Structure 1
Amino acid sequence: MKEAVRVKGVSKSFGKKEVLSMIDLTVEAGQIYGLIGPSGSGKTTLVKMIVGMDVPTQGEVEVLQTKVPHLSLLQNIGYMAQSDALYPELTGKENLTFFASLFKLKKEEQKQRIAYTANLVDLTSHLSKKVAAYSGGMKRRLSLAIALIQNPQVLILDEPTVGIDPELRLSIWNELMRLKNEEGKTILVTTHVMDEAEKCDRLAMVREGKVLTSGSPKELKEFYHATSLEDVFLKAGGSKNENVGSN
């Protein structure tokens, strides 16, 4: 299969502090790939470099066979940051319309994408409200809708379900599965929720700026003789970096 995302020998330092150390990972097209790890492990820094918002101190990143950062990739990458970048003085619909206009969507397509994304995140009845009046969970949902607005090939979601109720979390994951299976989207998601990690095709477990281990959830549990991914994480933390199974 084609590689959608390739990270090769990436390290990142801020001053004397190294936050990522020699990261290698490959995300195949049409895969849901999970980056799992606690807060402060380096997941968000890595995600920002894949999107092109930051550059590595060492190593390189490619998305869709194009070296990052590159202007041509913006149309093809949907990004949901951990902190919501919204315009609170605008309504939900005005936020979606603004971001859709950045991607030069035609009027009819813009209308369709706004309706689809708002419905997906259960915000249709709240689109006329100002975002300043939204709850934290509603803002997360709007951020996810914005990440999907231009129908990107690659979706990069940083903790997309934090602060979202369980029922909606399930429906969002069902839609991510549909986007993968029916539309061939590539989805890279960071999470610290282990039941979400189970839904990923492949995982990389990250701690203190290093990849502890990677593989499918099934491969990882078998390799570490573990009954859960929590166990895998604990066992992998006590051994050398392992790349389990085929890449």
Structure 2
Amino acid sequence: MVIEKEVSKINETIGALVYDKIAIRKAYNYYHAHRDADQFKHLELNYGIGTPTSINFTPLIKKHIDVLIGEYLGLNQDLKVSCKDTATVSNILREKQLKINEAVYQYLESYLRNNIIAAILNNKEVVTDPFIENEIKRVQEAIDQSFVSEYEIAAQNILEYIRQSRNIDLKRKMHELLTDLLVSGTCYYRVKPTENNSSINLEILNPLDTFVERNPNSPYLADSRRAVIRR
């Protein structure tokens, strides 16, 4: 009895989220040149007057979308990573600050050593260089602009692996994603580890069979409260 209640609750929850995406289905029909029999039924019926008309679809939209996708994929766009984890961002900023502090320390150490040696050899007092503050600022700005964290290096290595991996076949997956985006205005994918946890699988989900309850407190679908993938 308990199991039946749980199954009933699950079915009710799924049923509340799943619906027929009529507009998206029609968009895919237009793309694939599949005619909706009911939509143009009034043109094919003669109602006893004249000769019935037979209608065929010509795929005008498909060739334009395919050309756009082909041109975009031909550009070999650079892959980018967006970090939304607060702890990781904090660690990256701390790593950058430690790098800046180390560079400033090395510069000051070298500057002071040269001045002390010059003072001993020439029997002169150590004079404060009026440009030292500007030099320190220059060192800080140079590192701030050129700094690349270990997290970013690791992420770029992963992206390069994904780009070159034959198992993932990123170009074909990108073609599917872009097609979904241009035809339906939406696209869904899911990244999962392989069974042996040695690689990842990039799974493209059909927008017609993917239903996500958006989290109003987050722009990311991964933070959604629930989702249904129909197969």
TM-score of Structure 1 vs Structure 2, range by shorter chain: under 0.3
User: In proportion to residue count, which structure has more helix?
Assistant: 2
Q: TM-score, normalised by structure 2?
A: 0.23
Give the TM-score normalised by the residue count of structure 1: 0.22
Query: Between Structure 1 and Structure 2, which shows a larger proportion of strand residues?
Result: 1
Larger-gyration structure (1/2): 2
